Amino acid sequence: MRTTLDRFYSHVLFDLDGTLTDPKLGITKSVQYALHKFGIEVNDLDQLNSFIGPPLMLSFRDLYGFTEGDANQAIRYYREYFQDQGMYENELYNGMIELLSLLKKQNRTLVVATSKPTVFTEQILSYFHMDSFFDVVCGSELDGTRSDKAEIIHYILEHQQIGNDAAVMIGDRKFDIIGANHQGVDAIAVGYGYGSKNELMESSPKYYVESVEELYALFI
């Protein structure tokens, strides 16, 4: 994989969960709470790591065989816990503030591109004092619309009025990389999040890094 960027990207798009922050505890406990409401007991939170990254509707349907109606109810239960506690059971990755500071000094436009609802994303960015770094925050709607990563990236390109060669997408799951590829946007896969290296490499990112430090070095 390339170890330096081959062009200046004016717009840098970041996934949130597993890329900017480590949300494992909050997300898995929110899922655990929702599944409990359906009589499904999961005591090992590691079993719920697959929920980190994809849209919740997709995960409840694919991983637990929920109908669309049950998945929607599960999401409502999930949000009961998440709004009260889960969003704060979260950790900022070490070195992330330094990376964001570097990118702003380079006069890049920073964007959050996430499947998480925009309203929760904005609260999390504020909680971690990251909101001042980002020019645009684009997530899904509470009703689940605009949760596909390709759709989110398309929306950003259209509303920022930029070509796809001006942007780069940074993410830790295949959904980030595939979404970027669908829109003709270069992608940086990060191996410190929740996607395995095999998952990420199979989705064909242009760049791959193992750590926040390696990600920082790409932009020097």
pLDDT tens, position by position, 46-60: 999 999 988 899 999
What's the pLDDT at 193? 97
What's the pLDDT at 1? 67
What's the pLDDT at 43? 97
The residues that are catalytic are: 15
> For residue 2, is pLDDT > 80?
no
What's the pLDDT at 142? 86
pLDDT tens, position by position, 112-125: 999 999 999 999 99
Angle at 138 between CA 135 and CA 140, to 5 degrees: 165
Topology (CATH level 3) of domain 24-88: DNA polymerase; domain 1 (1.10.150)
As annotated, the residues of the chain forming the CATH 3.40.50.1000 domain(s) are 11-22+91-218
pLDDT band at 146 (very low <50, low <70, confident <90, very high): confident
Architecture of the CATH domain 11-22+91-218: 3-Layer(aba) Sandwich (3.40)
pLDDT tens, position by position, 72-89: 999 999 999 999 999 999
What's the pLDDT at 144? 75
> For residue 32, is pLDDT > 70?
yes
